[in-house]
A and B are shown apart, each in its own frame.
Chain A
Amino acid sequence: MRSTAASGAVLMGIVTVILAYGGWALSFIVPSGRDVWLPLEYAGLIAFSAWIAWGALALCYRNGNHNILPLTMFIITVAWLETYRLGFSTEDFSQGPRQAVFIAAGLALFLAVVVCLRDYRILEDYKYIFLILALLIQISVMLFGMRINGATLWVDIGGHSFQPFEFTRILLVFFLASYLRQFRGWLRMDLISENWRLPHRAFIMLGLGMAAAEILLVVQRDLGMALLLFGIFVSLFYAVTNRKDILALAFGLSSVGAYFCWRIYPHVQERVSNWLDPFVAFDGSGYQICQAIFSLANAGLDGTGLGLGGAAYIPAVVNDFTFVAIAEEFGIMGAGALLAGMILLFAECFGISLRVKDEFGSILAAGLVYMLAWQSLINLLGVTKVLPMTGVALPFVSAGGTSMLSCFAVLALLWRIDISDTPLKKTKRIRRADGASGTERALEAENGR
Chain B
Amino acid sequence: MDVKERIRRLAYIYLALFFVPLLGVSRYAFFECDEYANHRDNHYNMTAPALRGSILDCHFRPMAYMHRSARVYPLGEAAAPLLGYYSRIYGEAGLESALNKKLLGNPIPRDPWAAYKIWKKGGRKGDDIVLTVDSDLQKKAFEALGGYKGAAAVMSVRDGSLLALASAPSYNPEEKLLEENWEEISRDEEAARLLNRSIQGLYPPGSTFKVLIMSGCLEDGFVSANESFNCEGKDLVVNFVLNCSAVHGKVSLKEALGYSCNVAFGRMGLRMQMEGIRKWMRAFRMDDPLKDVPGAAQAVLPTVDTSSAPAETAIGQGDTLVSPLHMARIAAVIANKGLDVEPHLLREQLSGSDAVWRYEPEKAQRVISKKNAALVAEAMEFTVREGTGMAAYIPGVRVAGKTGSAENPHGKVHAWFIGYAPAEDPKVAVSVILENAGGGGKFAAPVAREIMKAALELPEFKSGKK
Contact = CB atoms under 8 A, between A and B. Distances in A.
Interface stretch (B38-46, B210-218, B373-381, B443-451): B38-46
Contacts of B48: 298, 304, 308-310
B43 A291 contact: yes
A366 interface: yes
Given A296-B25, A332-B26, A381 B8 contact: no
B437 to A, nearest CB: 46
Contact of B21 (A294, A300, A335): A335
A282 B41 contact: yes
Contacts of A238: 6, 10
B60 interface: no
Interface string B29-56: 1101101110101111001110100000
B139 interface: no
A242 B10 CA distance: 12
Q: Which of A239, A308, A331, A381 has the most CB of B within 10 A?
A: A239
Contacts of A363: 3, 7
Contacts of A301: 29, 108, 115-116, 118-119, 123
Contact of A384 (B10, B21, B36, B39): B21
Interface in A75-125: none
B119 A374 contact: no
B24 interface: yes
B354 to A, nearest CB: 19
Contact of B24 (A239, A304, A346, A381): A381
Size category of the binding interface on chain B: 35 or more
B27 interface: yes
A293 B37 CA distance: 9
Contact of B119 (A300, A342, A350, A369): A300
B7 A354 contact: yes
Contact of B29 (A290, A300, A373, A381): A300
Contact of A239 (B6, B43, B123): B6
Given A300-B119, A308-B49, A377 B18 contact: yes
B19 A296 contact: no
A296 B21 contact: no
Nearest to A308: B48
Contacts of A309: 44, 48
A294 B36 contact: yes
B28 interface: yes
A389 B29 CA distance: 19
B29 A296 contact: yes
A313 interface: yes
Given A239-B7, A297-B33, A362-B7, A381 B20 contact: yes
A300 B7 contact: no
Interface in B101-118: 107-108, 115-116, 118
Question: Which 9 A-B pairs give the minimum distances between C-beta atoms?
Answer: A384-B24, A297-B36, A296-B28, A380-B21, A310-B43, A299-B29, A350-B11, A313-B43, A294-B42
14 contacts: A282-B41, A291-B43, A297-B42, A298-B37, A300-B118, A300-B123, A301-B29, A301-B119, A304-B51, A309-B44, A350-B15, A376-B18, A384-B25, A384-B28
